[in-house]
Amino acid sequence: MTRKMKDSGIEWIGEIPEDWEVSLLKYLIVDRQGGVWGNEENYEDITNNRICIRIADFNYPEMIVNKDKGFTIRNYKKREIIKYTLNKGDILVEKSGGGEKTPVGRTVIWDEDIEALYANFIERLRVDSSKISPMYAQYCFYSFYGMGGSNLYFNQTTGIQNLDITKMMGSLKFPLPNLIQQKKIVDKLNLYLDDIKSITLTINQEIKKLEEYKKSVITEAVTKGLDKNVEMKDSGIEWIGEIPKHWKTPRIKDVALLKARIGWQGLRSDEFLYDENLPYLITGTDFKNGYVNWSTCVRVSEERFHLDRNIQVKENDLLITKDGTIGKLAIVRNCPSKVTLNSGVFVMRNQGNYKYIDRYMYYLLQSIQFELWFELNDSGNSTIRHLYQKDFYNFKFTYPSIEEQKEIVDYLDKKTKTIDESIQAKEKQLEILEEYKKSLIYEYVTGKKEVPSEEFI
């Protein structure tokens, strides 16, 4: 028998089953609490009720988390003594931030009872379990967020997005079947999502193997060359090993000029502009497939652009990230007339005694040579990782002739293209799975798909 539907009157929900209701979020929440400010640089050993939980550490899109799953607990001093508790089933909302790794509006369910702090950019919501189950609420949040709904509640767009949860509580509505139907929906979705998660894990493992193979191909070419019969010698360098006898091992300072934004010149998020007539600002998030994605760059004032001519970017410059994710690379192509760098990125320009092909250096810095050197050089340092200019200048690397560099680049361009195409195909599979997941959750939490009752006899 066809299920009777009615118009919910809510745009994001559409039609729902005739026996369902809709409810404002504020009527489904019995308690909410924001996090606290603290200084994450001042760590100390403190009791469990001072543990700080940061949603940025969650392994999104994981939906259910606890202190042992998906993120790291940080201990740090705080400015106020407040007792915070997390109960099993509490929903944590990311209410401030921005970017690919910390999307504002995402939610996770906490899966245990614990006394803890949580950072100031988290809001903790506790649902009324007599009206809505925590997991059903989480699926509703996920569906709403997946449709970009949280954008309706941002109260500023100056680089840092802030979610107005009070406004959201007062106007966001959820579809609401009875608790028995909610359980059926949750159980059904859990089964589907377990299967999707298993497939996703397999694809990610395949991508990782392809990336490792790509790195090994690059390393072999830039360390041993392409001639299998060439006479070899010991380079005497721990992270390099044997190399062709006629190759050299200069330092970066012998071949290139390195420049980055000086600390006191750092940009605030409210200086990010969107006027297309202003100079471009490059960050590491604008790197895509080895080049700069100009369409994602924000703009800065003319004054900021002219403040430091050393970081005014030119055609064929090589860019490398020095903070956070170390060693992301991009070659500058089709460079606009005015471009500068944000903090966290080096510009590397061939101005030394040795000339190199930019793509040779691009490949070399993706090799295990650079990776091993960085790990050896960085060992024992703080948990916050940086690629320091003074250290990077002393990185020794393999240097063949320009003619050999060109042969290696041509070879790697062809070889890595095939590998990259395989990786991209698998990444497309992940995108399709994620879209299927979003669609599946939406269809069930709005009642457009019905869980057959015989499945739960």
In whole angstroms, give the CA distance from residue 218 to residue 407: 13
Tell me: pLDDT of 379 over 90. Answer: no
CA atoms within 13 A on the CB side of 276: 2
Q: How confident is the model at residue 43 (pLDDT cuts 50, 70, 90)?
A: very low
| Tally of CB atoms within 10 A around 343 | 16
pLDDT, mean of residues 59-77: 55
pLDDT, mean of residues 285-301: 93
pLDDT, mean of residues 387-394: 93
Output the pLDDT for position 271: 86
Q: How confident is the model at residue 68 (pLDDT cuts 50, 70, 90)?
A: low
Output the pLDDT for position 23: 96
Note the pLDDT tens digit of each residue in 344-353. Answer: 899 999 987 8
**CATH fold of 250-397:** Adenine-n6-DNA-methyltransferase TaqI; Chain A, domain 2 (3.90.220)
pLDDT, mean of residues 99-106: 60
Output the pLDDT for position 163: 81
- pTM of the predicted model as reported, rounded to 2 decimal places: 0.80
Please give the residue that has the higher pLDDT: either 99 or 284: 284
Tell me: pLDDT of 80 over 50. Answer: no
Per CATH, domain 5-176 is 3.90.220.20: yes
* CA pseudo-torsion sign 149, 153, 158, 160: negative
Note the pLDDT tens digit of each residue in 216-235. Answer: 999 999 999 999 999 999 99
pLDDT, mean of residues 197-211: 96
Q: Please answer whether residues 37 and 84 qualify as being in contact, where contact means their C-beta atoms are separated by less than 8 angstroms.
A: no
Note the pLDDT tens digit of each residue in 254-280. Answer: 999 999 988 767 787 778 888 999 999
The two three-digit tokens of residue 196, written as one number: 């999707």
Output the pLDDT for position 47: 39
- Residue 88's identity, in one-letter code, is K
- Average pLDDT score, the chain: 85
Q: How confident is the model at residue 164 (pLDDT cuts 50, 70, 90)?
A: confident
The two three-digit tokens of residue 380, written as one number: 């024992």
Chain centroid to CA 424: 17
Output the pLDDT for position 158: 46
Structural domain boundaries in the chain: 5-176, 250-397
Percent of all residues in the chain with a pLDDT value above 70, rounded to a whole number: 80
